[in-house]
Chain A
């Protein structure tokens, strides 16, 4: 067994996987594991990310499609030492030294460079249970393919198309130990529903061995049953469901809140020197127990109006109608139009044809 803890995913619909963020991260995250952010730019699982920091997890390896602040936060708090990434937002121009720049220079973190397409293809291959997947071969001339990082040759390979003999470029499939994910709503079994920018969410969540899911809202299973097209991650992949309003702040969640740019800038500003960064983490991560306390602190500090200004105004999707006649074969009089007989006649027919078994 990998880390001394066996994870048995409860795949049944009657499972209740609701728990707090501290419990979810405490139970399902082990030092040294790999994980993927199953959101990219939008609806970032930042409450769960902060829980990794609060519990001082170590030596994690991150797959990051495209990030804004979370990679810098995990580097500054020494949670990750390896990152496979395609894109990371830079606050300010090339003259500003970011935490990522510093960590690469000092060897605190090693980075494997990928493109959006090829990194997500690693996840898609892993999700489908395939060893590798073809990708667009034009990039094989670039340093993204030519320069190898800590994954070495366990990333790209050239093969021949078995049907045409043409050269192909493939990427290796990966299955991270866990995914962190934030969605609009989920039921207690872990059927998670996301809308808006879908980006990498489906393939990252399905590639991971287990998904730690936080959500703005817990809903009854009936809500999921009436809108299955919105389910991005099914309950059999999910090990924990964390009810966590504002769980993506300062990123955005459609239908709930917009991104909070000044608060974001506050973090990036504090990255300029180590003391300011330490103060930021003390204030917003270590001195609060969870996301609820974080938001309460935000409201105390900046005022409720400041927070309320980011609340979403509605823009409703027209509901899909899953209706049908919902009728059995038998009408009110016990007559089946499709068979042209009553229940009594039906049973008599079965008997008459010798289809009924007398087991006594």
Chain B
């Protein structure tokens, strides 16, 4: 019997397959970083990982807490700064792909990572834009993952440009030809974008996921591919790599919070 896996492991393993060997990839943290590193440890050993902290060619030994922590800086090939990453590297076309997590997304792949709630009276400030708008704007393509985020008809706040109003509108607004989100991987399936209209459609289902569940999450009349792929389960090798490298990602945020709280409790009991 095949090894059981968590939903995060499935998402990471599917996302990792999108990265090709020798590509330059800009990555944030969490699932996105786990996917990039998994790809490097399997089929893409020469992929070059960059973070906007000014680090190029990193080889993290465990999944970083943030894009500049010591797991990223034990050996890397180019120490520059954040302006250099956005200008001399991204703006000059060296970044083939970016991996990013999604908070809110609309049918054309436009994203919100800034605010939730009513415009003008927001309830929640999420992490904010960070580097996402420029990376999604200017990287060759964007690989998106979403676990805990939502599909919406209209974003509460428009942080990062997907295909704007669809069609050619993204390129008319000045973003590089051919760039844009290429795939979105959620907890239930895999979504891609129509070549002409740029509207998101369902391209595949994860094992055990039902079409109804996906339709219930998407507030517009979602288009479905004629042939839906089934996402392959992560291999034993992939699972072993992930549990060693990224147990935080494997267990997901909710369990991670429980584990952290237990650690805090341990710390406090030392002080008692």
Contacts and interface: CB of A to CB of B under 8 A. Distances in A.
Q: Do A and B come from one complex?
A: yes
Interface of A: 40-42, 65-66, 68, 85-90, 92-94, 97-98, 100-101, 104-105, 111, 113-117, 120-121, 124, 136-144, 146-147, 167, 195-203, 252, 254, 258-259, 261-263, 265-266, 269, 301-303, 306, 312, 315
Interface string B39-66: 0000000000000111100000000011
Contact of A252 (B69, B126, B161, B260): B69
A93 B263 CA distance: 19
Nearest to A253: B70
B128 interface: yes
B53 A105 contact: no
A116 B114 contact: no
Contacts of B134: 115-117, 136, 138-139
Contacts of A303: 270
Given A90-B127, A101-B123, A136 B91 contact: yes
Looking at A90, A196, A197, A301, which has the most chain B CB atoms within 10 Å of its CB? A197
B208 interface: no
A86 B53 CA distance: 13
Interface in B252-272: 253, 257, 260-261, 263-264, 266-268, 270-271
Contacts of B70: 196, 252, 254, 258-259, 312
A202 B83 CA distance: 10
A139 B125 contact: no
Nearest to B68: A197
Contact of A136 (B52, B114, B125, B138): B138
13 contacts: A42-B69, A88-B125, A105-B122, A115-B134, A116-B52, A116-B82, A117-B131, A136-B137, A141-B164, A197-B54, A199-B68, A258-B70, A265-B263
Contacts of B160: 142
Interface stretch (B11-19, B72-80, B183-191): B72-80
Contacts of B264: 262, 265-266, 269
A116 B131 contact: yes
B79 A315 contact: no
Given A104-B125, A117-B131, A202 B138 contact: no
Interface in B74-96: 74-75, 79-83, 86-87, 90-91
Contact of A199 (B81, B137, B253, B257): B81
A101 B124 contact: yes
B127 A87 contact: yes
A262 B264 CA distance: 5
Contacts of A98: 125
Contacts of B138: 136, 138
A206 to B, nearest CB: 11
Interface of B: 52-55, 65-70, 72-75, 79-83, 86-87, 90-91, 103, 114, 116, 121-134, 137-138, 148, 157-161, 164, 173-175, 253, 257, 260-261, 263-264, 266-268, 270-271
B85 to A, nearest CB: 8
Given A121-B83, A139-B137, A42 B175 contact: no
Given A143-B114, A262-B260, A262-B267, A197 B128 contact: no
Given A41-B66, A116-B131, A199-B68, A105 B83 contact: no
Contacts of A94: 103, 116, 124, 126
Given A116-B129, A200-B81, A262-B267, 5 more contacts: A65-B82, A87-B128, A115-B132, A116-B130, A136-B90
B130 A197 contact: no
Nearest to A257: B70
Contacts of B127: 87-90
B270 A115 contact: no
B259 to A, nearest CB: 10
A266 B161 contact: no
A120 B161 contact: no
Given A90-B127, A117-B83, A40 B253 contact: no
A142 B160 CA distance: 6
B261 A269 contact: yes
B137 A138 contact: yes
Nearest to B65: A259
A117 B121 CA distance: 27
Nearest to B264: A265
B133 to A, nearest CB: 4
B159 A196 contact: no
A199 B73 contact: no
A113 B268 CA distance: 36
A195 B54 CA distance: 11
